[in-house]
Structure 1
């Protein structure tokens, strides 16, 4: 697994969490700019999904098993879009809190992906 991609995705997720957390602190819902940030973080997670699948197809194997690795990759790719859709349903500060929490979850998933791959 590409360590740099995992690091960039985790840091971007934490930045998104801080940004949406600040919006929640100011009693603001998620706005268009937040959704652009979510799109960037989601794109990074999707690139990571593709890179992980390509590495598996080339014969490389994670230390802790392929099934759990693919499950974590899929969860990481779906984390931010799910939080974004939930924030659309809740157009208050709680929508921003939902995205911030989803971004923190993604950062934790990135650490776990690093461990599963054998980092």
Structure 2
């Protein structure tokens, strides 16, 4: 995988987690700006899915297996949008906490993807 893309996705996810965590600390729900941040992080995750699929199609082999790698790719792609969807139903500070937790999950999944590929 591309190490720079993995770092970029992880860093963006952690910034989103801190931003939404700060909103939760201030007792605020997710706002439009948070959803724009979620869209940016999700686009980075989508770019990583594309790179991962291209690497697999080009003959690359993850150290721990293709099925596990693809499963983690799908999970990484779904983490932030799922948290954003859940935050729409919870228009209190807990919506911000949900997005913050989803972004932390994405950062952890990125580390695991790096390990699965053979980093």
Alpha-carbon offset, residue 81 of structure 1: 0.3
1:79 corresponds to which residue? Answer: 79
2:57 corresponds to which residue? Answer: 57
1:94 corresponds to which residue? Answer: 94
1:12 corresponds to which residue? Answer: 12
TM-score normalised to structure 1 length = 0.99
TM-score normalised to structure 2 length = 0.99
Where in structure 1 are there 5+ consecutive unaligned residues?
A: none
1:113 corresponds to which residue? Answer: 113
CA RMSD of aligned residues (A): 0.3
Cα distance in structure 1, aligned partners of 2:94 and 2:25: 10
* Matched pairs, number: 119
Matched, 1:23 2:23: yes
> Structure 1 stretches (4+) deviating beyond 4 angstroms?
none
